[in-house]
Amino acid sequence: MTKRALPDLRRPIGVGIVGLSATGGWAAGGHLPALAAVDGIELRALASSSPASAQAAKAVYGVPAYTSVEQLAGDPDVDLVVVAVKVPQHRELVLPALVAAVPVLAEWPLAVDLREAEEMERAAGTVPTFVGLQGRSSPTFRWLTDLVAEGFVGEVLSATVVASSTEWGTPVWERALYTLDRKLGATMLTIAFGHAIDLVSMVIGELQDVVATTATRRREVPLGRTGQVVAMTAEDQIAVSGTVAGGAILSAHHRGGAASGAGFSLIIDGTQGRLEITAAEFPHLGPVTVYGTRGRGRPAELTMPGGYDNYPGLAGTVVHTLAHAYAAIRDDLIRGTAVAPDFSHAVKRHRLLDAIVRAAATGRRTTIQRPRPAGGQ
């Protein structure tokens, strides 16, 4: 492949989105407002699945519209291809953009499984890549990472996660049926748990090994309001424990179809203090509250200092962390830094999820697979 030159610094980075629909969706409701909030990066083109949908989107967004990712990547004004479609389509859309040597941002999960994720990582070569684990750009979780690293709780002894999702058990609409099939890679394990465990790993470190119990307690769920039910093979109960680097013990339980609603709780206990982190829904998207104490006092709410949040006007919205993620991507592309998570990081996270699946299937403690040395040695 012929490597493209870095973006022209005299103009904003041009973004081409695959999956930007005239009828809305995550690309329109999340990516577009985030791009609008960040200086130095902007929408330049889009690609859709048919001529009719492409023309409809072109009329709404006022940018060139294509019917293939090859055409989108070939547009000289496109410096970054964003793949914002269902997980099973990622590979077929990511690979052509990489062949054209155009940087790619793919939503998380990157792939339907570890093998496919590793294939895309290899295909990238030296082309800059990014994955939509935007929680890593969250001002709150960057601050928490610094708090722990600076010794707020002392040496970390343990971390306990309890999380729940309303999906994967409650009525599902036709467009989301694919999330019920564990073979299609867009399950509670990969999406909700994957985003959450990525944030936990950011704060306290990576799991070195795991034991796991998973189950599909609801094997059928209602199909909207039709009165029909559909099969579900995706896990709706995930319980994991293991050891992180340094020896701390992490335990996590994620529950699907929760009648009480979505939620997230992380408690970090250390030799000198304690942190309690909660979110009403997904911690990588919504507001997060932090309580902490040093010593034996009762935890009190902590206020994040300045310097972390560059887009306070977006706080409390699903766009907040995504805007910070786009700012990190912009800087990585222009300055050659490596702040935003890339395909290699995505593969690391897929390896953890793969280890959880294997541990649950065998009932044995499973070591997290590490990258193979170059040359397969």
Q: Looking at residue 157, what is its pLDDT?
A: 98
Two tokens, residue 316:
């409390």
Average pLDDT over residues 172-182: 96
Parse the chain into domains and list their residue ranges: 13-107, 136-298
pLDDT of residue 11: 87
Q: Please give the structure tokens belonging to residue 317.
A: 């919205």
Q: What is the pLDDT of residues 256-304, one digit of tens each?
A: 999 888 999 999 999 999 999 999 989 999 999 999 999 888 999 999 9
How confident is the model over 29-85, as pLDDT tens digits?
999 999 999 999 999 999 999 999 999 999 999 999 999 999 999 999 999 999 999
Kindly indicate whether the domain formed by 136-298 is annotated with CATH number 3.30.360.10: yes
Whether 10 shows a pLDDT value over 90: the answer reads no
Residue with tokens 């979110």: 279
One fold for 13-107 and 136-298: no
Task: Compute the distance between CA of residue 67 and CA of residue 54 in angstroms, rounded to an integer.
Answer: 6
What are the residues facing 230 on neighbouring strands? 221
Q: pLDDT value at position 1?
A: 55
Mind listing the pLDDT tens digit for each residue in 78-116? Answer: 999 999 999 999 999 999 999 999 999 999 999 999 999
The superfamily in CATH containing domain 13-107 is NAD(P)-binding Rossmann-like Domain (3.40.50.720)
pLDDT at 181: 98
Identify the band that residue 370 occupies on the pLDDT scale cut at 50, 70 and 90. Answer: confident
Quick one: pLDDT at residue 376?
41
pLDDT tens digit sequence for 230-253: 999 999 999 999 999 999 999 999
pLDDT (average), residues 331-338: 95
